[in-house]
């Protein structure tokens, strides 16, 4: 049984991953802004799951630490929350950059910093960052996704650096760069597009990788896509 924190769990891939992990018997703390979504998650996941409203753009570290302290150690952190910015590059404003990098890079980076002492206590911790094929070097790129893809590339790079810095602390760090998955995020950004993978199936894979991947990978940025990059 592992202590797991997952962000972006009020809907989509994070929701499905959290349900699976809690049903497997892990102790899950789910974070997101939307409490209604988190309450629905709790209903599905059962008593192994606790939740807390948390905004990555305005992180309340004190409130989070109060919630985490009784867990004593954190074995898995899944930085899954994401913000998909879709705009031509020339129209991207400073507010857009701040939001995309805030949710996709600065928020996860801050979480990793404040949770470090709890991750260290695990002795075999795993940080799983959720990137995107758009941020994977050499992949096919799509117009309108430059800001989003750049923020995902940043978290991929930080993954490699952090794995090196924290290897003596026994904190592994990997990044999975997802291809299209059928979620509300995808439907909002690309109406009508049918992804080859469901959110539930991706949740199954993430639950497996988050709890086992650190035994085989560290500092790796891995494409998770059934289509050619
Ligand atoms: N779906 C795809 O095709 C696809 C492809 C590649 C990568 N990904 C990545 O996979 C991850 C999950 O994607 P998804 O499709 O499941 O997305 P989604 O349905 O839009 O869910 C995103 C989650 O992130 C949370 N979130 C957004 N802004 C936040 C903030 N400021 N603070 C805290 N939480 C915040 C949302 O919760 P609240 O609104 O409640 O805060 C929500 O639970 C993301 O990192 C995404 O970039 C998805």
| CATH code where residue 57 lies | 3.40.50.720
Q: How many domains does the chain have?
A: 1
Q: Is residue 228 part of a domain?
A: no
Q: Is residue 93 part of a domain?
A: yes
Mean pLDDT across the stretch 168-184? 97
Mean pLDDT across the stretch 122-142? 96
The dihedral over CA atoms of 204, 207, 211, 216, expressed in degrees to the nearest 10, equals 50
Q: 162 and 112 in contact (C-beta within 8 Å)?
A: yes
User: Distance, CA 65 to ligand 1 centroid (Å)?
Assistant: 23
Give pLDDT, residue 82. Answer: 98
Does the pLDDT at position 100 exceed 70?
yes
Give pLDDT, residue 229. Answer: 58
Q: Is residue 119 part of a domain?
A: yes
Mean pLDDT across the stretch 96-105? 98
Give pLDDT, residue 129. Answer: 98
Q: Is the CB of 156 under 6 A from ligand 1?
A: no
Q: Is residue 127 part of a domain?
A: yes
The alpha carbon of residue 136 and the mean position of all alpha carbons in its chain are separated, in whole angstroms, by: 16
What CA–CA distances, in Å, run from 39 to 47, 166, 184?
12, 34, 18
Q: Is the CB of 33 under 6 A from ligand 1?
A: yes
Q: Is residue 156 part of a domain?
A: yes
Give 149: exposed, middle or buried? Use CB within 10 Å, 0-12, 13-18, 19+: buried
- Secondary structure class of 227 (helix, strand, coil): coil
The two tokens of residue 175 are 């990044």
Q: Is residue 76 part of a domain?
A: yes
Q: Is the CB of 38 under 6 A from ligand 1?
A: no
Q: Is the CB of 14 under 6 A from ligand 1?
A: yes
Structural domain including 78 reads 3-222
The alpha carbon of residue 5 and the mean position of all alpha carbons in its chain are separated, in whole angstroms, by: 10
Q: Ligand 1 atom 45: the closest Cα is on which residue? A: 82
Mean pLDDT across the stretch 109-114? 98
User: Distance, CA 195 to ligand 1 centroid (Å)?
Assistant: 16
Does the pLDDT at position 173 exceed 80?
yes
Q: Is residue 227 part of a domain?
A: no
For 76-90, b/e burial (b = at least 16 CB within 10 A) is bbbbbbbbbbebeee
Q: Is residue 206 part of a domain?
A: yes
For residue 56, give the ligand 1 atom closest to its CA: 32
What CA–CA distances, in Å, run from 211 to 3, 141, 175, 177, 208?
10, 30, 14, 17, 6
User: Distance, CA 168 to ligand 1 centroid (Å)?
Assistant: 31
**Averaged pLDDT of the chain:** 97
What does DSSP say about strands 76-79 and 181-182: parallel, antiparallel, or unpaired? Answer: unpaired
Does the pLDDT at position 14 exceed 90?
yes
User: Distance, CA 184 to ligand 1 centroid (Å)?
Assistant: 9
Cα 58–Cα 63–Cα 66 angle in degrees, nearest 5:
150
Query: Is the pLDDT higher at 229 or at 11?
Result: 11
Most ligand 1 atoms within 8 A of CB, residue of 38, 42, 45, 82 to mutate? 82
Does the pLDDT at position 131 exceed 90?
yes
Q: Is the CB of 130 under 6 A from ligand 1?
A: yes
Does the pLDDT at position 83 exceed 80?
yes
């Amino acid at each position: 049984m592992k202590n797991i924190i997952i962000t972006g769990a009020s809907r989509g891939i994070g929701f499905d991953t959290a349900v699976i992990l809690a049903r497997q018997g892990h102790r899950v703390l789910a974070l997101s802004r939307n409490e209604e979504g988190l309450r629905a998650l709790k209903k599905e996941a059962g008593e192994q799951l606790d939740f807390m409203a948390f905004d990555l753009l305005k992180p309340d570290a004190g409130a989070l630490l109060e919630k985490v302290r009784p867990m004593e150690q954190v074995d898995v952190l899944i930085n899954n929350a994401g913000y998909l910015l879709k705009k031509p590059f020339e129209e991207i404003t400073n507010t857009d950059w701040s939001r995309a990098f805030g949710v996709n890079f600065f928020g996860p980076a801050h979480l990793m910093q404040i949770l470090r002492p709890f991750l260290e206590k695990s002795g075999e911790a795993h940080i799983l960052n959720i990137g995107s094929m758009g941020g994977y070097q050499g992949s096919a790129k799509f117009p309108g996704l430059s800001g989003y893809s750049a923020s995902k590339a940043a978290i991929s790079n930080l993954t490699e650096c952090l794995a090196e810095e924290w290897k003596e602390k026994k904190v592994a760090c990997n990044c999975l760069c997802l291809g299209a998955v059928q979620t509300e995020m995808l439907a909002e950004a690309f109406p009508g597009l049918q992804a080859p993978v469901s959110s539930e199936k991706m949740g199954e894979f993430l639950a497996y990788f988050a709890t086992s991947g650190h035994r085989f990978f560290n500092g790796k940025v891995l494409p998770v896509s059934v289509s050619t990059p």
